[in-house]
Amino acid sequence: MTLILNPKSYGELLAKYQPKVITTEEENDQAIALANELEHKEKRSPEEETLLELLIVLIERFEEQYYPIPQGTPNSMLKHLMESNNYQPSDLVEVIGSRQEVLELMEGQGNFSQSQSQKLADFFEVEPELFLR
């Protein structure tokens, strides 16, 4: 669907918020706050919708540059996700099975099954492929 923009209204929005390439945490936080505000607005104008899309592109670009997703083995991804979320092996027992299974997977002593990969992906809200490399 192509949005038809009112150049005057869109220009006023751009002048008010002055979106630009994000280079600092503070700018990123401000862009996220504005994007959240627009996202939760019940009826966005086409101009607001376009500004929201622009903000999302700018935020994603900043976060990809400054917070790259680490590449690694399935077990290193599991360790990273656990550390960044302050989880202990016991926290994943209900997701994977036993504490021993969790520890073995963390140490690379075995492969993740399709089922385990999907359950972990659902739990951490990531793609299951992270655990199937």
Q: Write down the pTM of the prediction.
A: 0.56
Neighbours of 90 (CB within 10 A): 9
CA distance 53 to 59: 10
The pLDDT score that the predictor gives to residue 51 is 97
**What are the pLDDT digits (tens) for 1-36?**
677 899 999 999 999 999 999 999 999 999 999 999
**What are the pLDDT digits (tens) for 75-132?**
999 999 999 999 999 999 999 888 899 999 999 898 899 999 999 999 999 999 989 8
CA distance 105 to 73: 11
90 closest CA partner among 81, 103, 72: 103
Q: Which residues contact 40 (CB under 8 A, 6 or more apart)?
A: none
Report whether 54 contacts 19 (CB < 8 A).
Answer: yes
Instruction: Give CA separation, 117 vs 77, 111, 129, 131, 133, in Å.
Output: 11, 10, 7, 6, 11
**What are the pLDDT digits (tens) for 34-73?**
999 999 999 999 999 999 999 999 999 999 998 876 678 9
